[in-house]
Structure 1
Amino acid sequence: MPVTSTEEKPIELTLEDFIKTHEPQLRTSGVPEHLWKSLFIKLAGQVYDAGSSFQILCEEIEDEDGDIVGQKWKVVVINDNGVQLSDHNNIFLIDHAWTFRVPEARGYLEKVPGLMDRMANLMDIEQEDKDTEVIIEEILKEMWRFNQTFSFGHYEFGAEESLPFWYIMDEFGSRVQHADKPTFKMEPFYFCQQQMAYTIMWPLCDCEKGDEVTRNYVENTSDPLVRQAKLLPWKPSDMTDVDCTQEEPDEAFFMSNRVNESLPIPSAKSPTLPEDRSIKVFMQYPNLAKHLTDPRFEIVDDQVEADILWLNKHFKDFKGLSEEKPNVFINQFPLEFIITVKDMLAVVSRRAATEQEKTQKMSPGPKWLPVTYNLVTELPKFVSYYQQREALGLDNHWICKPWNLARSMDMHITKDISTIARLADSGPKVVCKYIHNPVLFNRQDIGNVKFDFRYMVLLADVKPLKIYAYDVFWLRFANRPYSLDHFEEYEKHFTVMNYDENVVLKQVHYDEFIPMFNEQYPDHPWADIEQEVFQMIRELFTAATSLPPPRGIPPSPQSRSKYALDLMLSWETNEKGERYMQPQICEVNYSPDCDRACKYHPFYVNDVFSTLFLDDIQDKHVTLL
C-alpha cells in the first residue's frame, strides 16, 4: 500500500520510490534519516505546518533618544514542548515566493500582478510617494539579502540547463536570521514527483519555547576573511586593510583542471607528412570538412588512417599519441585550458605586465587585461580592492562571469558589492572590471552601440613561439544604444546574438567595417589598433608558454591549434590627458564556432590547414606575429 499523508490523501509515490529517487539529494543536504519519512509525507501532501511551532516577531529598534529608527524581524519557537532534535516530525516545508533568473527579474516585477508589492513589503521597502521604477530599483538592490540559489544541471559541463535559478523564500523563511552557531538548517529541495522546489528546515539542536530560529547564511565557510566578505550584504564592514595584491597561484591551482591529461614523451618529434599522396584528415566538424577543398588534403572517416586528427572534444592522452602515433598531428596543445578557462586566463595574462605596470596598485596588470579577481580564491582581496576604488571615487562597475561558460551565459553586470558577494554562491566565477566607457560604433538605424571583435589565432609551435593571426576578423554588435544602466537588458550590454533566432543579428564584414570605423574615428585608424591587438596576442602567448607545465603550455611537436580571441576597445586617458583606444581582452575560446567564417570566407579552412600543417602562408590571409 502506498504511504498516505496525515490527511489520508492518496499518494502515487511510495516512500521507497521517494528515497530511491531522492537519496543523493537527501544525503548531500544532510537531512537526518529519521526525518525522511515525515519529509516525504509533507512534500506529497504539501503540508506547511511550521505555523504550529514557530511565530514571526517584529521588534522596533530605538536610538539613544528613544526614537524608533527601524525594525528587526525574527522567528521564535512557540510550541510549548519546544522543538526536539529527535522528533521525526520536526522537518518543515517553506514555500518560495519568487523564483527567477537574474536577467528576468525586472520584467517579472513590472508585469506579474502583486509581485512588486509583495517583494517591497517582504524587504521593508517604503513605497509611499515613490515611482514604480524607483521601487523596482530598490527591490533589485535589496533582493540580494534575501536571494537563495540552486541549479539542476551539471554546471561543470557548461550545460545551459545548469544555469542557476535564484529564489526568495516566503515571509516566514525570509525572516529567519543569521547566526554563526545556528539552531536550524535550511536547504533547497527539489521534489521530482511534483517538479517543484521547496526549502526544507530542521533543527540542529533541541530548542525550547521562546528560542530564536536561526540559520547560517554562509555555510561551509571557515576562513574568517571569506566569511566577513560573504556576510557583507547583512553585515557591512570595512575590509580595505586586506592586501589586494594578486600573486601567482601554486601548481595545485593549475593541476585542478588537468584531469588524466598526459604530456608528450621528451623525445617526441614533429611528424613528417607524406609528399607522395594527399594528407589524410579525420575531422569531427562537418562544416569545416566540407570547406577543406585544398587538393593536398583528403577527408577520411577512420581515425586510424588519418595523418591529422581535428577533434571537437578535449584530447588528453598526449603521451599515448607520441608513443603510439608519432607521425600524427592533433589540433590541440596540452594544458591549453590555462588560457581558455577564464580564471586561469587572468593569472597567465598578469605575467605579461611590465615592471612599471606591476607597481600601479589600481591597475597592476597589462594594459589590455581588465582587472580580474577569482571569487572562489580571492573574494576578500576583491572586496578590499572594490572598497579602495570606491574611496577614490573610481568607477566600480563589474561583470561576473562563470569561469567555464561562453556565449555570455550567466554573466551579470553590477556596481553593487552585495550582489557580487552573493553571485559567488551560484558557481565558480571571476569578476572583471566592466568596460564602462567602451568605444562605440554608430549604427545608422539605432545609434551608438557596443561592439566586440574576434581574431583567430593559429598556434604552430611553442619553443620557439610561432603564432599567426588570421587577418580576417569577425564583428558582433549590440542591438540597442549603449548607456550605463539597466544591465539586465541583454541587447544593450552584450553582443552575442547568433544563438537566438528571435534576435536580430547585425552583419558587418571586416572589409566593410574598417572604412566605416575609420570614418567615424579618423584620429584612430584601424591599422594602428590592429597592431596593438597583434602585440597583445604575442604578449599573451609568450606569457602562456613562459613557464613549464602545469603553469604553462609545454612544447608538443604533434600539436597545432586554433583559438578565438574576443576583444573590445576601451577609451582610456594617458598622462597628458589625451584619450586613446585600448584593446581589452574578454576571453579566449577553444574550438570556436567557425560557421560564419566558412560561410563568408570559403578560403578560411584551406588557409588554416596550409598555415598550420604545411607552413605555407603564401597568399594566405595570415600574419606571423
Structure 2
Amino acid sequence: MDASATSSPPPSSFLDRHRKQLESVGFPPTLYSRLESKLVGETFDAGDTFGVVEDESQRRAVVCSAANGLEPQCDVWLIDHLYSFQVETYRQDLQKRPELLSRLAVMMGLEEPHEDGIFEEETPETSMEKNPIPPLASVPTPGLRAEKRPDSLNLNEETLCLRRPHRRERPTLYEQVCEQIWRYVSSYRLVDPGDPFKFKTVWFVKDEFGSAFQHAPPALVNFRISPFIYFPPTGSLKGAMGYSLAWPIANIAEGEECTHDYAFGCANVRDNSITQEEKFLRWMKRACRLAVWFELPLSVRAIFEAAHAERKQLFLSLAVSVNAASKPVADPSTALAAHFSRSWRHSPLVLRVYNDNGQVLRHLSRADVQRAAEPAEADVLWVYHTAITPHYRRRHGLGLDVVVSQTGGDECLVFKHLLPLTATRAPGSQAWLPDTYNMETETAAFIHEYSRRSDEAHRSGEGAEHPPHAQEHGPSTPLSPLFILKPWNLGRSMDSAVADSLPQALQLAKTCPKVASQYVYDIATVNDRKFDVRYRLFVRAWEPLEIFRWVHWGVRVSNHPYSLAAENINDFQAHFTVMDYAGYTQTPVSETDFLEAFERDNGGVPWSEVDSKVEKIIKNLFETAAILILERTGREEVAQSFSFYGVDVMVTKDLQPKILECTFGPDCASALKLDADFYNKAFGIIFRGEEYEDFRQL
C-alpha cells in the first residue's frame, strides 16, 4: 500500500503532523499516543511479543508468543525499513553493498545466516537489524494456516504456491536477490506541495520481522500493515523517517500465525450487494495483484488466457479502414464546416490573446496580437495549464466564438492507455506502436502475454528473463519479456521504468494508473546511445484535417551507452532520453550532428527515409483521431479549437519507426533556441493563413 507525504512545514503537535496519514490508512485513534511514544523513543519491541518459525520448505512466518495472546487494536509495532531505494539505483546498490546483499539473501532464504547473526562489514554495534525476532521451536502452534476455506471464485488463496523464479543455469546470488526483491517491496510517494508533478516514488523492503508476515485472505487475516512517514517536531522533511506500522485487527492466540492481506485494497468478492459482473471484476483485480507473489492455478490462468483472447478480438473489431468515405467531410449546410481561422485570414483585426504559458507570452510578439488580461477579454485562449471546461466557460462568461488551444476528445491521442485503441483503427499495419496494455483494465491479459513470452524464451534456450546481449543490442525476436511501465498521462519519463520480471512489472503498475508497453530493444543508435526524435505538430482544423509539422526535429539522446545487460536494465540514463526533469544533465545534440551520426551508424541510410515513413504514420493516426474527436465532441466545439502536439518516435535497427507517445502542449524551449519566431510563425499559419518554409502541411 502507498502512503503520501509532503515537504510543507507541519504544526508542532504529533496529530497535526500525521492525522491525514493515519486516517487514510484506518489506523485506530486509540493507539495514537502509543504510536507517538514508540516513534519518539525509537522503540522496536516486536521481539517481546512475536517469534519467527520456519517450516520444512524454508517458509518463514511470524507467530504470536504472548502468553495471553493479542486482542484487536491492543498495540502497535514499528517495522523498520531495511532498505529504501529508487528503481534506477537498486542494482548498483546491491553490487556496491555486499552486507546489504547478504542480509537480503538470508531473509529471502537464498543464503544461510551467519552464526553470530552479523553480516560482513558489520560489528555488533553497527548491525543494521533494529527489530530482532527470536526463532521459535517450542511454542505450541495450532498450525501456520487455519483450515477454513472461504469461497473465492475458485481462487483458494490459502493453497497458492509462491511464485518460482525462472532459474538461469548458474544464477549468482546477486541475480537471485535482484529478481526476488520485487516480492518483498512496498512503496510510498513524496510529493512537493507546490507542484504535484514533482514527486518521488520510494520503494522499500521491510525488516526481517515485517517481511516474515505471510498472506491470508480477508476472512482470515489478523493484522494490518501500512507505510508511515514520521515527521519530527522540527517539521523538516530532511529529518523524516519511513516505517511500517503493524497492529492486530482480530483476536490472536499464543502460537497462532500473524498474517496480513498482500492484496489489501483489492475489494473482497464476498460482498453480496454487488452484481455478479462487478464481483467477477473485483476477483480478477485481486487475482492479478496476488500474481506478484503466487503461481496462479490452471483454472485462473485459463481465465487470463480468455481475457487476452477477448482483448485481441476487441482490437480486431476496432480495426477500420480510413478511406475517403470515412474521413471528416465538410457539411455544406452549415457555416461551422468552414474552419474558424479562415474568417481571420488576411484580416486587419488585432486578436486579443489570453495565455497562461510563459514560453508563449515571451515569444508571441506579432503586431497583430494584443495580450488579454482576463479570459473574458480574449478572442483566443492559448492555454496549457487550465482546462477549458463548461464550468470554466460559465465562470468567465465565454461564448462559443472564443477560440481555444484545446480540443475536447483528444484524450484518444494523448492518453497512453487510449492511444492503442486509436492506432488500431488507423489504416494499414500498426507495427509502429509497441504492444501496450492498460494496467488498470488489461492486467490479466498482460499477465498471460508476459508469461507466454517468458516461457517461450526459456524453452528456446535463452534462459533469462530477457535476451542475453552483453555485447550486442539483442536479437530480433518478439518474445522479449521486457516491458516499460509508464503513467497514463505524464510526460518527461516521470515514474517510468523498465521491468524484466512479472513481479516487478506488477509492482511498478500500482503506484498510479499505468500502461505496460513492450520494450523496443532492437533499436537504431547513434554513438552507441539510445535516441528518440520529437516531431512538433499543430492542428489548425479537424474538419477537414489540417495538420502542420515543424520541419526540424527535437533529438534526445541517452547519457549512457545502450545496454541490456542485467545490471543495466534499470539504468535510467541508458534507457531514457529525457534527463533534465529526472535530475540529470541533458546532453544536447544538434540536428546536424544527429543527421551525420545517424547515417554513419546505420548503414549509410539518411534520416529522410525514416522521416517520410513517420509523416505517413502521423497523418494516418491524426485522421483516425479526427473521426473519433468529431464523434465524441461535436462539430461546433471542435471548429473553435486548435492544438499543439509533440509525437515521440524511436527507430528499430531495420529502420522502422515506433511511436512512443503523443503529448499535448509540448515544451518548445529547444525549438525557440533554433527559431525565436517559432510561435509567431505558428500563429500566422493558424490565424492568418501565412506560409513558411520551415512548417509543412501533411
Aligned 8 A contact 2:409 2:629 in 1: no
Superposed CA deviations along residues 473-518 of structure 1, whole A, max 9, x for unmatched, are 1111122221212122222111113447752513221x45335433
Change (3 A) 1:188 1:290: closer
Aligned to 1:199: 244
Within the candidate set 75, 95, 98, 2:83 is matched to: 98
Shift of 1:309: 2.3
Q: Which residue of 2 aligns with 1:575?
A: none
Q: Partners in 2 of 1:43 and 1:549 — Cα distance? A: 57
Offset at 1:457? 1.2
**Superposition deviation, residue 42 in structure 1:** 2.1
Aligned to 2:99: 114
C-alpha contact 2:347 2:688 (8 A) present in aligned 1: no
CA distance in 2, matches of 1:502, 1:430: 25
The corresponding residue for 1:561 is 643
Deviation, structure 1 residue 523: 6.2
Q: Does 1:605 align with 2:642?
A: no
Offset at 1:47? 2.1
Aligned residue number for residue 259 of structure 2: 214
Q: From the superposition, tell whether residues 353 and 553 of structure 1 become closer, same or farther in structure 2 (CA, over 3 Å).
A: farther
Task: Show the counterpart of 2:466.
Answer: none
Report the residue type matching 2:340 in the other structure.
Answer: S
Bigger mean CA offset, 321-330 vs 192-201: 321-330
Pair 1:539-2:611 in alignment: no
Distance in 2 between residues matched to 1:172 and 1:585, nearest whole Å: 46
The answer to whether residue 410 in structure 2 is matched with residue 373 in structure 1 is no
What are the residue-to-residue correspondences of 1:516-595 with 2, within 5 Å?
A: 516-521=597-602, 524-547=605-628, 555-571=637-653, 580-595=654-669
1:172 aligned onto 2:209: yes
Q: Does 1:279 align with 2:351?
A: yes
- The answer on 1:435 being equivalent to 2:516 is no
Matched residue type, 2:106 = N
Match of 2:535 among 445, 451, 455: 455
State whether structure 2 residue 492 is matched by structure 1 residue 507: no
Letter in 1 for 2:594: F
Contact residue 71 and residue 251 of structure 2 kept, 8 A: yes
Q: 8 Å contact 2:363–2:680 — kept in the other structure?
A: yes
Could you tell me which residue of structure 2 aligns to residue 229 of structure 1?
288
Letter in 2 for 1:492: A
Q: Cα–Cα, structure 1 residues 513 and 97, in superposed 2: closer, same or farther, change >3 Å?
A: closer
* Equivalent residues of 1:607, 1:620 under 8 A apart: no
One-letter code of the match for 1:182?
Answer: V
Q: Distance in 2 between matches of 1:140 and 1:553?
A: 51
Moved more, 313-322 or 581-590: 313-322
Is 2:71 the counterpart of 1:84? yes
Q: Spell out, residue by residue over 1:258-300, the C-alpha distance to the aligned partner (whole angstroms, 9 max, x if none).
A: xxxxxxxx99782643833433333333333333344443445
Change (3 A) 1:158 1:543: farther
Contact map agreement 1:455 1:565 (CA 8 A) in 2: yes
CA distance in 2, matches of 1:350, 1:469: 23
Q: Distance in 2 between matches of 1:210 and 1:303?
A: 69
**SS at 1:528 equivalent:** helix
Whether the aligned pair in 1 keeps the contact of 2:102 and 2:111 (CA below 8 Å) is no
Separation of aligned partners in 2, 1:74 and 1:324: 63
8 Å CA contact retained: 1:291, 1:605: yes
Q: Which residue of 1 aligns with 2:180?
A: 142
Distance in 1, Cα, partners of 2:672 & 2:283: 53
Question: Which string of whole-angstrom CA distances, capped at 9 and with x for unpartnered residues, describes residues 54-73 of structure 1?
Answer: 11112223xxxxxxxxx111
- Higher relative CO (Cα under 8 Å, sequence separation at least 6) belongs to 2
In structure 1, the residue matched to 2:695 is 622
TM-score, with normalisation over the residues of structure 1?
0.82
For structure 2, the 5+ residue unaligned runs are 1-9, 114-167, 233-238, 268-281, 317-333, 458-478
Matched residues in 1 for 2:434 and 2:697: separation? 26
Quote how far apart the aligned CAs of 1:31 are: 1.7
After TM superposition, give the deviation of residue 168 of structure 1 in Å: 0.8
Q: Single out whichever of 195-204 and 150-159 deviates more from structure 2.
A: 150-159
Matched, 1:160 2:198: yes
Contact 1:288/1:598 (CA < 8 Å) preserved in 2? no
> Helix, strand or coil for the counterpart of 1:210?
coil
Alpha carbons of structure 1 residues 267 and 185: separation in structure 2 relative to 1, 3 Å: farther
Moved more, 137-146 or 324-333: 324-333
Cα distance in 2 between the residues matched to 1:501 and 1:185: 36
Is the contact made by 1:459 and 1:466 (CA closer than 8 Å) also made in structure 2? Answer: yes
Q: Which amino acid aligns with 1:125?
A: L
Contact kept? 1:155, 1:427, Cα under 8 Å: no
Write out per-residue CA displacement over residues 347-398 of structure 1, whole angstroms, 9 at most, x where no aligned residue: 32222265xx5xxxxxxxx111111001111111100111222344321111
Question: Is residue 563–residue 569 contact of structure 2 (8 Å, CA) maintained in 1?
Answer: no
Contact 2:542–2:638 (Cα < 8 Å) also in 1:
yes
Partner of 2:492: 407
Residues in 1 aligned to 2:41 and 2:492: alpha-carbon distance in whole angstroms: 41
Query: Gaps (5+ residues) in structure 1?
Result: 1-12, 62-70, 250-265, 358-365, 572-579
- Note closer, same or farther for the CA distance 1:179–1:374 as it changes in structure 2 (3 Å cut): same
**How far apart are the structure 2 equivalents of 1:267 and 1:27?**
56
Partner AA of 1:592 in structure 2: P
Alignment length (residue pairs): 557
Kindly state the Cα deviation for residue 243 of structure 1 after the two structures are TM-superposed: 2.8
SS of residue paired to 1:457 = strand
Counterparts of 1:168 and 1:568 in 2: how far apart (Å)? 35
Deviation at 1:179, TM superposition (A): 1.0
> In structure 2, do the counterparts of structure 1 residues 343 and 333 end up closer, same or farther at CA, with 3 Å as the change threshold?
same
Query: After alignment, is 429-438 or 482-491 more displaced?
Result: 482-491
- Ranges of 4+ aligned residues in structure 1 off by more than 6 Å: 154-157, 266-269
Match of 2:144 in 1: none
2:415 counterpart of 1:341:
yes
Query: Could you tell me how far apart the structure 1 residues matched to 2:52 and 2:596 are?
Result: 66
TM-score (norm 2): 0.73
Aligned mates of 2:588, 2:88 — CA distance in 1:
22
User: 1:556-585 CA deviation, whole Å, 9 max, x = no partner?
Assistant: 2221111111110123xxxxxxxx321111
2:572 is equivalent to residue 490 of structure 1: yes
SS for the counterpart of 2:452 is helix
1:338–1:552: 8 Å Cα contact kept in structure 2?
A: no
- The Cα RMSD (Å) is 3.2
Shift, 1:468, TM fit:
1.5
The corresponding residue for 1:471 is: 551
